[in-house]
Each structure stands twice: as structure tokens, then as C-alpha cells.
């Protein structure tokens, strides 16, 4: 989960460049010395693509372009265009930064634009606008970084049509084959402190109202298998009723079509939690309650399958982001069987027909 920290760190780095350029205006240092200092302090490589273009009229203005990357290749841009404007008075210095393409740990962010100012008096960087595109989605934010008190950073804004699968896959966090999620968030707010990975995540807090769609892929063979499974369980193996109900709910109500979801995700000290995230399809709902710890990469979450406002089955999500367990609950206890796999994730992975074969063997 260092990706989130690296986003904020990259923003912080860009504005470090803003601050030290104040000294250029005062003729105290040469730009080469400033670049050397930034490279040494932040383990990055900065190559000027052209000489700074200075203009002195009603205000001081400088434009230049650079290539920036850190030594661990966590972020990289071939072309970052900077423009700084300082009035001839005690006033914040304005900046305008444009980056056609930025790579953060393998994720490409296009058309990045940052507009804001730096206040020398209170040592605060204000973002009037931060925007960019990720795939077919985009984001727009505003916020601030204080250079005092361990560099607290705050952002608020919007996410639109973000393809979560693309982000997780390109960051090597998870590669979900059957489940696709697209999400948006209006008026989200997040904050943290720029420090080590663990301290950053443990200080990560926020409120994110989310909406979006889920698309789960299933086959005709699986639909037929679920229908056969329901008959088998109803007539011969009633102890496995909740397992067949959950599979039936998923296959019949939430596959091969976009299904909408909405809710609020709160972040407290690096832990995502929700009590009202709901996936809705007509009279059928899946309500999600629980947490995901970004530090330990661990779920502790429950799914409630609801039909006509009645809970018909419950499941528990545990484990990591890449391969979580989704286990059925019977009578407030985890359904446990040595012979039949209770993990819905593995049931789909191994195939429903495989499950039916095992159940038939139990009945012999």
C-alpha cells in the first residue's frame, strides 16, 4: 500500500521544487545547486530539458521543463513543465505544473495538472486544483500541505469512473479475473502525514462517499450447475442450504450485467471501514459491513445477502486483497466441512460442477 504514500510524496516533491526556487528569485543559489540538493535529499534524479526562461515585467516569472524519476523507479515522468510567478510584493508565489504522462509504481496517470500557490509566511502550499486521468476515469482535487508539524497533507475532491481493477493490477496488488469494479466519489476528504510508509498509513484518515458498478462474469454452465445444486441440496443435503443459497444469489442476481453500489467508506488510522456499503439489484441486495486494514493487508468483513428486505445468508471475508476467503456462516458460526470447500472464492475457482460431484459422493 505504498502507492498512496508515493502519490502524496510526489506532490510534496513537486512543491519542494517550488519552495527552493524562491531562492533563485533572490539570487542566493544557482539552479544546479538546488537540483543537486533535491536529488541528494530525496533519492531522485532530475534532468533539466532546457534552460529556465525568465521574464521580468510586472512580476517575476520562470518556466522550465524537467525529467524526474526516483532511484527505485517508484515514479517517473519524461516531461514535467513548471511555471512559477512571484509578484513584486509580499504575496504567495503562484505555480502551474503540467505533466503529460506520469508513472507511479507502474500506474500511468495522464494529463496531470497542478495549480496553486506557496505562502512563505505560514509555510503552506495550497492546491487550487489537482487533476488528471487514469484510463477512462479522471480525478479533480484541492487541498494543502503544511511544511510544519511533520508535513500534514489534506486533499478533497472527486473521482469519476475509476476502473479499480486496472489500478490494482498495474500496482501488482491484485489481479481479479471475474470481478470488475468501477467507482466514483463525490466530496471525498483524506489526510495524513508525510513520513515512513507505516507512519503514513497509520495516520491516513478520510471520508469517501462512493458510488459505482460491479460486473461479475459467469458462464451458462455455472447457471445450470447452480440450478442443479439447489435441487440436490433441497432433496438430499439440507445442511448445505446456505452454501447453495449464496451461490444462487450471486449467479442469478449479480452476474453478466452491471450492478450498482453505493455507500460511505471511512478511513481511520489506515483502516477502511463501512457499515452501509450496499450492492443493489431490484429486490436483492448485498450489504457489506466491516474493515480492511491497509497496513496488514487484511479483511475483516461480513456480507449479508438480502432478498425482499430479509437476510437469506451471511458470509465472512477474511485474508488479503489478492486472494481473500469468502466463507459461509451458518447460525452465527463459520460453516466448517473437511469434505466440502466453504470458500466461495475457491468454489468458483474450482468450478460448481466439481462441488456437485463432491456432494454426490457425500450422499453415496
Helices (runs of H) and strands (runs of E) counted in the chain = 8, 18
Q: Tell me which H or E stretch contains 193.
A: strand 179-193
Predicted pLDDT of residue 29: 41
Predicted pLDDT of residue 295: 86
**263 phi and psi angles, rounded to 5 deg:** 160, -170
Predicted pLDDT of residue 58: 82
Predicted pLDDT of residue 132: 93
Predicted pLDDT of residue 210: 94
Alpha-carbon distance 150 to 322, whole Å?
A: 33
- pLDDT tens for each residue of the chain, 364 residues long: 555 556 655 665 665 555 555 544 444 445 566 667 666 766 778 788 877 787 878 888 888 888 888 766 677 888 889 888 878 777 788 889 999 998 887 788 899 999 998 887 777 888 999 999 998 999 999 988 877 766 688 899 999 999 998 888 888 888 888 889 999 999 999 988 876 666 778 888 999 999 999 998 888 888 888 888 888 878 777 777 888 888 888 888 888 888 999 999 999 998 999 988 999 988 889 999 999 998 888 999 998 988 888 888 888 999 998 888 888 876 555 555 556 777 888 888 888 888 877 777 765 5
The DSSP-derived string for 113-181 is EEEEEEETTTTEEEEEEEEEEETTEEEEEEEEEESSSS-EEEEEEEEEEEEHHHHHHHTTS---SSEEE
Q: Summarize pLDDT for 122-139 with one digit per residue, the tens.
A: 778 889 999 999 989 999
Q: Where are the alpha helices (DSSP H) in the chain?
A: 2-25, 31-42, 164-170, 197-202, 220-235, 241-253, 344-350, 352-363
DSSP-derived secondary structure letter, 244: H
**139 phi and psi angles, rounded to 5 deg:** -140, 155
Q: Summarize pLDDT for 254-291 with one digit per residue, the tens.
A: 888 889 999 999 999 989 999 889 999 888 899 999 99
Q: Is 97 left (phi over 0), alpha (psi -120 to 50) or beta?
A: beta
25 in helix, strand or coil?
helix
Residues in the chain: 364
Predicted pLDDT of residue 34: 62
Alpha-carbon distance 171 to 307, whole Å?
A: 36
Predicted pLDDT of residue 27: 45
Alpha-carbon distance 192 to 150, whole Å?
A: 10
Instruction: Give this prediction's pTM.
Output: 0.80
Amino acid at each position: 500500500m505504498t502507492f498512496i504514500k508515493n502519490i502524496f510524496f510526489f506532490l510534496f516533491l513537486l512543491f519542494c521544487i517550488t519552495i527552493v526556487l524562491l531562492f533563485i528569485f533572490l539570487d542566493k543559489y544557482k539552479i544546479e545547486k538546488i537540483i543537486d540538493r533535491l536529488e541528494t535529499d530525496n533519492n531522485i534524479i532530475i534532468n533539466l530539458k532546457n534552460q529556465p526562461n525568465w521574464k521580468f515585467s510586472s512580476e517575476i516569472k520562470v518556466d522550465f521543463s524537467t525529467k524526474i524519476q526516483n532511484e527505485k523507479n517508484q515514479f517517473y515522468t519524461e516531461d514535467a513543465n513548471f511555471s512559477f510567478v512571484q509578484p513584486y510584493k509580499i504575496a504567495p508565489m503562484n505555480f502551474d505544473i503540467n505533466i503529460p504522462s506520469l508513472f507511479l509504481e507502474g500506474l500511468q496517470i495522464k494529463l496531470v495538472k497542478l495549480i496553486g500557490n506557496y505562502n512563505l509566511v505560514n509555510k503552506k502550499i495550497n492546491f487550487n486544483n489537482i487533476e488528471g486521468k487514469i484510463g477512462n476515469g479522471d480525478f479533480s482535487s484541492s487541498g494543502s500541505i503544511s511544511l510544519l508539524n511533520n508535513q500534514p497533507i489534506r486533499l478533497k475532491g472527486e473521482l469519476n469512473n475509476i476502473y479499480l481493477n486496472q489500478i490494482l493490477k498495474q500496482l501488482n496488488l491484485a489481479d481479479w479475473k471475474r470481478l470488475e469494479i468501477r467507482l466514483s466519489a463525490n466530496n471525498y476528504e483524506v489526510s495524513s502525514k508525510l513520513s515512513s510508509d507505516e507512519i503514513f498509513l497509520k495516520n491516513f484518515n478520510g471520508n469517501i462517499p462512493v458510488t459505482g458498478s460491479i460486473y461479475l462474469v459467469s458462464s451458462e454452465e455455472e447457471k445450470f450447475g447452480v440450478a442443479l445444486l439447489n435441487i440436490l441440496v433441497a432433496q438430499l443435503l439440507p445442511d448445505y442450504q446456505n452454501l447453495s443459497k449464496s451461490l444462487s444469489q450471486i449467479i442469478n442476481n449479480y452476474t453478466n450485467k452491471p450492478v450498482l453500489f453505493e455507500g460511505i467508506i471511512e478511513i481511520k488510522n489506515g483502516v477502511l471501514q463501512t457499515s452501509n456499503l450496499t450492492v443493489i439489484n431490484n429486490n436483492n441486495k448485498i450489504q457489506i459491513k466491516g474493515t480492511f486494514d491497509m497496513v496488514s493487508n487484511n479483511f475483516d468483513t461480513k456480507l449479508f445477502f438480502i432478498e425482499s428486505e430479509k437476510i437469506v445468508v451471511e458470509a465472512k471475508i477474511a485474508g488479503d486483497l489478492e486472494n481473500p476467503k469468502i466463507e459461509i456462516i451458518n447460525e452465527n458460526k463459520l460453516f466448517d466441512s473437511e469434505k466440502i470447500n466453504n470458500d466461495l472464492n475457491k468454489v468458483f475457482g474450482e468450478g460448481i460442477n466439481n462441488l456437485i460431484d463432491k456432494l454426490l459422493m457425500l450422499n453415496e
